[in-house]
């Protein structure tokens, strides 16, 4: 059975060099790549990243081992490709929140602001429930982890701008610290919920309650 890092005959790429996926040139190839990534996503959600095998992905995708190796030289390349797809899919979520005018954020109640932040993230994770399980695996590749940090920074910048709109008199270092608490709370709760298979709807409600309480406490003290 093929394992992470294995090539066509169990050989991985040259030491120190990560093999790159091959971009499909035809629509049929693109559909096959998407099917492979969809299969990997489903298996990660069911069994974790450590439960992935080339044979398992091929069976779930309804394709052959040879077809998989045509597009992905090893199992790590599949994981990296899925991680990259997830980042691209999540970018519009942050972009949409960032595009909301500061005046709108300033006029929202604490509960409405919490809902506006948490709901789009949970909506994304309902469609991509495996995503958080990728965050802790180095097999997603350096590029993914770099982009993950970029997305985390974008999230911090966004929440800091929300605080600035709602509480313009608060000093920037304090706003940044508060933004870090919000982002850390959301990421931590989502990760625990994902691993423990807690009901997403109930967890979302509780997370909104926690973010609302924090916003009310911070905005009450100014």
What residues does each domain of the chain span? 79-221
Q: Which of 47, 35, 118 is nearest to 72 (CA)?
A: 35
Tokens of 196: 């423990």
pLDDT at 58: 95
**What's the Cα-to-Cα distance from 96 to each of 30, 51, 191, rounded to whole Å?**
27, 34, 23
Question: How many angstroms separate the CA atoms of 82 and 79, rounded?
Answer: 5
The HSE-up count of residue 8 (CA atoms within 13 Å, CB side) is 5
pLDDT at 24: 57
pLDDT at 220: 82
Runs of H (alpha helix) within the chain? 27-47, 54-61, 65-71, 75-99, 102-107, 110-127, 131-134, 142-166, 172-196, 200-221
pLDDT at 115: 96
The reply to whether CATH 1.10.357.10 applies to domain 79-221 is yes
Q: Which residues contact 42 (CB under 8 A, 6 or more apart)?
A: 60, 130
Which regions of the chain are under pLDDT 50? Answer: 1-18, 222
CB-CB contact of 214 with 153 (8 Å): no
pLDDT at 2: 38
pLDDT at 152: 86
**What's the Cα-to-Cα distance from 108 to each of 23, 95, 100, rounded to whole Å?**
45, 19, 12
């Amino acid at each position: 059975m093929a394992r992470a890092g294995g090539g066509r005959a169990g050989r991985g790429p040259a030491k120190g060099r990560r093999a790159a996926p091959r971009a499909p040139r035809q629509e049929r190839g693109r559909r096959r790549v998407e099917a492979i990534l969809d299969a990997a996503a489903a298996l990660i959600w069911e069994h974790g990243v450590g439960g992935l095998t080339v044979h398992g992905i091929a069976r779930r995708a309804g394709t052959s081992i040879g077809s998989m190796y045509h597009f992905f030289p090893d199992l790590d390349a599949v994981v990296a490709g899925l991680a990259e797809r997830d980042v691209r899919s999540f970018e519009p979520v942050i972009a949409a929140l960032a595009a909301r005018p500061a005046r709108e954020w300033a006029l929202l109640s604490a509960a409405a602001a919490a809902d506006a932040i948490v709901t789009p993230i949970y909506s994304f994770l309902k469609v991509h429930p495996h995503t958080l399980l990728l965050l802790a695996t180095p097999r997603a590749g350096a590029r993914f982890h770099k982009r993950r940090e970029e997305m985390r920074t974008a999230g911090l910048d966004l929440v800091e701008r929300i605080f600035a709109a709602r509480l313009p008199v608060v000093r920037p270092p304090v706003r940044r610290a508060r933004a870090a608490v919000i982002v850390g709370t959301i990421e931590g709760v989502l990760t625990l919920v994902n691993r423990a298979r807690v009901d997403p709807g109930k967890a979302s409600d509780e997370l909104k309650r926690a973010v609302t309480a924090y916003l009310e406490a911070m905005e009450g003290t100014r």
